[in-house]
Chain A
Amino acid sequence: MSKPLIVLDQVTVAFDERVVVDRVDLSIERGDIITVIGPNGAGKTTLIKAILDIQKPTHGSIQRENGLSVGYVPQHLTLEPTLPLSVRRFMLLSGEPLEACQNALSRTGVDHLMNASVHHLSGGEKQRLLLARALARHPDLLVLDEPAQGVDINGQAALYDLIRELRDQLHCGVLMVSHDLHLVMAATDKVICLNQHVCCSGYPEDISHDPAFIETFGRPVAESLAVYHHHHNHSHDLHGDVVDGSCDHAHH
């Protein structure tokens, strides 16, 4: 389609002798939504840090598009309650003009909180604020580390919907790390299952059948995902968007 925003070539990150990320190849293009899943300690956050250029790879190379602007949404905003800070101030600290900040806040639906203190926001509002802050910097690539943590279940679905919408509006690439397998499977184009190395990758429907995936997450998870996909496809059926063989997944 277009030139990739970022290309990882055999990226390895090791701390001392311990290999945390093992020879990962990855390329992200505009319009992609790629989700990295994997068990705890699989190197997901380290991989994200390498992509964000705050962790140098031990081996391998990372090529970024010239002038690539990356928006980062950290796992959560743990703010010191001792530091008085308003939403407005937090946004302006990005160095972007007020108008861009206001725009970004209304895109994520929290512009009414402009003058609120960041300490009084709910989990969902905080995530939307972080997302807005990333947007204010006009990112080509949006990197989100478990964006739905601390958000209630309805809020999670809404948040993933919002991320899709933003991708469509801004035509940026999106890379997420997530634990919310069910929601991720619905929101993503491509899943990368990481366990130090890339153990499997592909479309959500395919990956839940992948032996490597089942081995990493266990059969129950894989099955529940397959069941989930049945539901997912079913709702698409109602809209007349039939996917072939969608019901087979349920019998897995």
Chain B
Amino acid sequence: MPIIDALLNDFFWRALIGGLGVALVAGPLGCFVVWRRMAYFGDTLAHSALLGIALSFLISVPLNVGVIVTCIALSVVLVVFQRSRALATDTLLGILAHSALAIGLVALSFMPDIRFDLTGLLFGDLLAMSRTDLIWIYGGAVVILTLLAAFWRGLLMSTIHEELARVEGVPVERLRLILMLMFSIVIAVAMKIVGVLLITALLIIPAATARRLAGNPEQMMGLAIGFGCLAVTGGLTMSWFLDTPAGPSVVVTAFCMFLLVYGGAQRTAA
């Protein structure tokens, strides 16, 4: 279709369409991050994305593949270490998050021949969205939404009470892995828009904003998607007109909505 083709030729529309696709999956997964208190975990995975990028350059595979594989590997390492209980989880996450980021940066500095935009990777780049990226984003979204729909009751139940879920026959461990797989996918596809340092913000802020207005889990997810879309649209528009970096602009927009919703709700409550 010529109209869509014309739209996709424009980098701003590509970024916007991609961003909306990211918001579509960041909303539901962000809710799980908030419910399961996985904010720091999400950060750790996101930081490891940079290591994934370095590895992808090294063995020349697509960036997305490298990032997804690295994130999954890191989640498995985390689960194993957590079981051994040698260190508190937040200490462990702190070590792995920053080490993965640092190793990624060091590894990238060894590859002077490769052209990449570090600021873009860290903070997102409006100009970087390609048609291939869009395919990745919407492909990833289909996978994530299908998984969510298929395992919805189990995921929700194991989030509410893990042991109760186990007794009722929910495969808690397998669902945890599936959730990590979903996080890895969302990090790989959201990286282009908001950058590895700010992905967690795009997951958490819309979900937290939605909590204020939601009466049940599904509503919260729907609202989180809505707020995410608004944040992406507002942020990218801001980036376009004011020439601000894309990722921070999206996060600032999301934060403003958060303040509005919480401030507004406070006033009605008072």
Please report A residues at the B interface, Cβ cutoff 8 Å.
49, 52-54, 70, 72, 74, 77, 79-80, 82-86, 89-90, 93-95, 133, 137
Digitize B127-167: 1 where CB-to-A-CB distance is under 8 Å, 0 elsewhere. Answer: 00000000000000000000000000100110111011011
- 24 sample A-B contacts, Cβ–Cβ < 8 Å, listed by A number: A49-B163, A52-B163, A53-B167, A72-B163, A72-B167, A74-B161, A74-B163, A80-B35, A80-B160, A82-B211, A83-B220, A84-B211, A84-B214, A84-B216, A84-B220, A85-B160, A85-B216, A86-B215, A86-B216, A93-B153, A95-B153, A95-B168, A133-B164, A137-B168
- Looking at the assembled complex, report how far the CB atom of A25 sits from the nearest CB atom of chain B, in whole angstroms: 23
Q: Which residues of B contact A137 (CB under 8 A)?
A: 168
Q: Do B168 and A79 touch (CB < 8 A)?
A: no
Considering the complex, give the chain B residue whose CB is closest to the CB of A93: B157
Asked if B94 CB lies within 8 Å of chain A CBs, one says: no
Q: Which residues of B contact A93 (CB under 8 A)?
A: 153, 156-157, 160
Asked if B217 CB lies within 8 Å of chain A CBs, one says: yes
Query: Which 3 residue pairs across A and B have the least CB separation, nearest first?
Result: A72-B167, A54-B166, A83-B35
- Looking at the assembled complex, report how far the CB atom of B216 sits from the nearest CB atom of chain A, in whole angstroms: 6
- Looking at the assembled complex, report how far the CB atom of B39 sits from the nearest CB atom of chain A, in whole angstroms: 11
Q: Which residues of A contact B163 (CB under 8 A)?
A: 49, 52, 54, 72, 74
Asked if B109 CB lies within 8 Å of chain A CBs, one says: no
Considering the complex, give the chain B residue whose CB is closest to the CB of A117: B215
Please report B residues at the A interface, Cβ cutoff 8 Å.
34-37, 153, 156-157, 159-161, 163-164, 166-168, 208, 211, 214-217, 219-220
- Residues of B contacting A: mostly: helix
Distance in angstroms between the alpha carbons of A13 and B116 in the assembled complex = 54
Distance in angstroms between the alpha carbons of A82 and B208 in the assembled complex = 8
- Looking at the assembled complex, report how far the CB atom of A87 sits from the nearest CB atom of chain B, in whole angstroms: 12
Q: Which residues of B contact A54 (CB under 8 A)?
A: 163, 166-167
Distance in angstroms between the alpha carbons of A85 and B217 in the assembled complex = 7
Q: Which residues of B contact A70 (CB under 8 A)?
A: 167
Q: Which residues of A contact B156 (CB under 8 A)?
A: 93
Q: Which residues of A contact B36 (CB under 8 A)?
A: 80
- Looking at the assembled complex, report how far the CB atom of A81 sits from the nearest CB atom of chain B, in whole angstroms: 9
Most chain-B Cβ atoms within 10 A of its Cβ — which of A52, A79, A93, A133? A93
- Looking at the assembled complex, report how far the CB atom of B141 sits from the nearest CB atom of chain A, in whole angstroms: 23
Distance in angstroms between the alpha carbons of A72 and B161 in the assembled complex = 11
Considering the complex, give the chain B residue whose CB is closest to the CB of A53: B167
Considering the complex, give the chain A residue whose CB is closest to the CB of B214: A84
Q: Do A83 and B217 touch (CB < 8 A)?
A: yes
Task: State whether A80 and B37 are in contact (beta carbons under 8 Å apart), knowing that A85-B217, A86-B216, A93-B157 are contacts in the complex.
Answer: yes
Since A82-B208, A93-B157 are in contact, a sample of 4 more A-B pairs with Cβ atoms closer than 8 Å, ordered by chain A residue number, is A74-B161, A80-B37, A83-B35, A83-B160
- Looking at the assembled complex, report how far the CB atom of B100 sits from the nearest CB atom of chain A, in whole angstroms: 27
Q: Which residues of A contact B208 (CB under 8 A)?
A: 82
- Looking at the assembled complex, report how far the CB atom of A131 sits from the nearest CB atom of chain B, in whole angstroms: 12
- Looking at the assembled complex, report how far the CB atom of B165 sits from the nearest CB atom of chain A, in whole angstroms: 9
Q: Could you say which of B37, B164, B219 contacts A84, with CB atoms under 8 Å apart?
A: B219
Distance in angstroms between the alpha carbons of A52 and B166 in the assembled complex = 9
Q: Which residues of A contact B211 (CB under 8 A)?
A: 82, 84
Distance in angstroms between the alpha carbons of A74 and B167 in the assembled complex = 10
Q: Which residues of B contact A89 (CB under 8 A)?
A: 216-217
Q: Could you say which of B34, B164, B219, B220 contacts A72, with CB atoms under 8 Å apart?
A: B164
- Looking at the assembled complex, report how far the CB atom of A27 sits from the nearest CB atom of chain B, in whole angstroms: 20
- Looking at the assembled complex, report how far the CB atom of B20 sits from the nearest CB atom of chain A, in whole angstroms: 25
- Looking at the assembled complex, report how far the CB atom of B239 sits from the nearest CB atom of chain A, in whole angstroms: 30
Distance in angstroms between the alpha carbons of A89 and B168 in the assembled complex = 16
Considering the complex, give the chain B residue whose CB is closest to the CB of A84: B214
Q: Do A82 and B35 touch (CB < 8 A)?
A: yes
Q: Which residues of A contact B168 (CB under 8 A)?
A: 72, 94-95, 137
Q: Which residues of A contact B217 (CB under 8 A)?
A: 83-85, 89
Considering the complex, give the chain B residue whose CB is closest to the CB of A72: B167
- Looking at the assembled complex, report how far the CB atom of B167 sits from the nearest CB atom of chain A, in whole angstroms: 4
Considering the complex, give the chain B residue whose CB is closest to the CB of A16: B84
- Looking at the assembled complex, report how far the CB atom of A15 sits from the nearest CB atom of chain B, in whole angstroms: 10
- Looking at the assembled complex, report how far the CB atom of B170 sits from the nearest CB atom of chain A, in whole angstroms: 10
Task: State whether A83 and B161 are in contact (beta carbons under 8 Å apart), knowing that A52-B167, A94-B168, A95-B153 are contacts in the complex.
Answer: no
Distance in angstroms between the alpha carbons of A84 and B219 in the assembled complex = 9
Distance in angstroms between the alpha carbons of A137 and B36 in the assembled complex = 26
- Looking at the assembled complex, report how far the CB atom of B156 sits from the nearest CB atom of chain A, in whole angstroms: 6
Distance in angstroms between the alpha carbons of A52 and B167 in the assembled complex = 6
Distance in angstroms between the alpha carbons of A222 and B118 in the assembled complex = 70
Distance in angstroms between the alpha carbons of A49 and B163 in the assembled complex = 9
